[in-house]
Structure 1
Amino acid sequence: MEKISAASAMEWSIELDKGLRSRKPGQAVKAIQQTGSRLQQWDQEPEPTKAAHKIFDLVAGEERFFLNCILLKLADAFRSGDKDIRVSVVKVFLSLFKMRRKTKRYHGVMSKAKMSNPLELLKRVKIVFDTGDLESRVLALVLFGSWAEFSRDNAHIRYIILSSLVSSEVMEVKASLFAAGCFCKFADDFAPVVLEMLPHIVASSELSSTLRAAGANVFAKMGYFSPNAVNGYKVNCHLQSTLNPRSFCLAVINCL
């Protein structure tokens, strides 16, 4: 029987730790990228059966423990690492997010059931947002959005996303729109607040058509039959009226 990812979790955690501690240039990024590929592989595998536990001599809960060790090490790397390391960490979680958003019932490595203490992940990334430069804040916002399933209920993270929507920095607004869209998909009570703010964003003459269309793209994540979607449609119509049809269509396509 081929070795499953759960049986390799301890080995992968140790290898990631060695890579992050290495002083060899580029080794930390390489270790993060390798871990990302492994997590994607693990994410697509079913839960290990009792037979698999017996074959690979797995203790109940062992794979979950080492999975959380890996996730925490990636969050620590994002907190203390340089630009290249932070970008690599974001790519790992963004790739996992893109994979699981196509699944109706998700039970993979980033599911709530697998998380031991998601608050610790959020704390580490929030430190970067609070103390970092513009690019660091943008990367942190993307992570918050990629973790929407468990970050959506955190009041501090909600405030960060909403306050970033009115930032004077275009990159920060765009990243916050991404995060807001992710939150709207999972939190119905978050969407009405965003809808109150979006008309001011899409009507702003100071923002590019691409960025304003990014605001319109948030509506697609509110659900087709919810009251939020109906209100979103009205705001979306307002956006279309502020752009010529060709510019609007191109801008929306670029945001998808």
Structure 2
Amino acid sequence: MEKTPSSCAMQWNIELEKGLRSKKPGKSIEAILDIGPRLEWWSRESNLHAAEYKIFGLIPGEDKLFANAILLRLADAFKSGDKHMKICIVKIFLSELKQRRQLRSQGRKDEGILSKDKVDSYRELLTRIKIVFDSGNVEERALALVLFGCWAYIAKDSADVRYLILSSLWSMHVLEAKASLFAAGCFSELADDFAYVFLEMLGGLLVSSETSRAIRLV
């Protein structure tokens, strides 16, 4: 029987850790780019049957443990890494989001590995990204907002994250406002109550004399 993402998860976690710890130039970025397609594969085939646990010698819940470990490593790298590393991490989750939307348009309801059912450490993940938002410059705040959008399944119920996104709609910086609009759109797909507030705020932004033309166009 061919291997599944869950049966490869331990090795992926090890390789990601080694890559992120490596002092060799470009190795950490390479590790991040390598894990991207693997996460997409895992999201496509995230449900493991009981027979597969036996075939691959897995302990029930082991796949979830390694999924959490991999996501936490990426969140830590986003928090402590440089601009290029942050951009690479956002890019792999944008690609994963694109795939998830395509699958959803085909009638699939499974949320992949980025769901609260599979990510026990979602609060820790969100806390790490919020640190970047709170302490970062405009570009870093924008990247954090985009990542919140990609992680809407685990972030949509967080009052803190909701506040960050909605308050950023009024940012004077186009980059940050554009990122907040993206994140708000992602949240609105999953939470009607958020969507109502978002649409009301959009109306206020459009008619406000303090909103620049550039922000209106965004």
Query: Which is bigger in relative contact order (C-alpha 8 A, separation at least 6)?
Result: 2
Say whether the 8 Å CA contact 2:133–2:144 is kept in structure 1: yes
Say whether the 8 Å CA contact 1:125–1:140 is kept in structure 2: yes
* 1:81-124 deviations in Å (ceiling 9; x for gaps): 00111011111111111111231402411122111120100000
**1:133 and 2:137 matched:** yes
Q: Distance in 1 between matches of 2:213 and 2:92?
A: 30
Q: Which residue of 2 aligns with 1:217?
A: none
| 3-state SS of paired residue (2:19) | helix
Say whether the 8 Å CA contact 2:132–2:144 is kept in structure 1: yes
**1:205-216 equivalence runs, <5 A:** 206-208=212-214, 212=216, 214=218
Offset at residue 180 of structure 1 (A): 0.8
Identity across aligned pairs (percent)? 53
Q: Which residue of 2 aligns with 1:71?
A: 71
Matched residues, number: 212
**1:88-237 equivalence runs, <5 A:** 88-102=88-102, 103=104, 104-203=108-207, 206-208=212-214, 212=216, 214=218
TM normalised by structure 2 equals: 0.92
Q: Which residue of 2 aligns with 1:85?
A: 85
| 3-state SS of paired residue (2:213) | coil
Offset at residue 46 of structure 1 (A): 5.3
Counterpart AA for 2:34? Q
Q: List gaps (5 residues or longer) in structure 2.
A: none
CA distance 1:14–1:188, change in 2 (3 Å): same
Offset at residue 37 of structure 1 (A): 1.1
CA distance 1:54–1:156, change in 2 (3 Å): same
Q: Distance in 2 between matches of 1:184 and 1:83?
A: 28
Say whether the 8 Å CA contact 1:170–1:207 is kept in structure 2: no
Counterpart AA for 2:31? A
Counterpart AA for 2:55? I
Say whether the 8 Å CA contact 2:46–2:113 is kept in structure 1: no
Q: Distance in 1 between matches of 2:5 and 2:61?
A: 14
Counterpart AA for 1:145? G
Q: Distance in 1 between matches of 2:52 and 2:42?
A: 14
Q: Which residue of 1 aligns with 2:5?
A: 5
* 1:185-227 deviations in Å (ceiling 9; x for gaps): 111111222122212323467223xx5355xxxxxxxxxxxxx
| 3-state SS of paired residue (2:192) | coil
Say whether the 8 Å CA contact 1:21–1:28 is kept in structure 2: yes
Q: Distance in 2 between matches of 1:53 and 1:149?
A: 26
TM normalised by structure 1 equals: 0.79
Offset at residue 64 of structure 1 (A): 0.6
Q: Which residue of 2 aligns with 1:21?
A: 21
**1:58 and 2:64 matched:** no
Offset at residue 127 of structure 1 (A): 0.2
Runs of 4+ more than 4 Å apart: none
Counterpart AA for 1:39? L
Say whether the 8 Å CA contact 2:168–2:176 is kept in structure 1: yes
Say whether the 8 Å CA contact 2:6–2:46 is kept in structure 1: no
Offset at residue 175 of structure 1 (A): 0.5
Please say which structure displays the higher CA radius of gyration.
Answer: 1
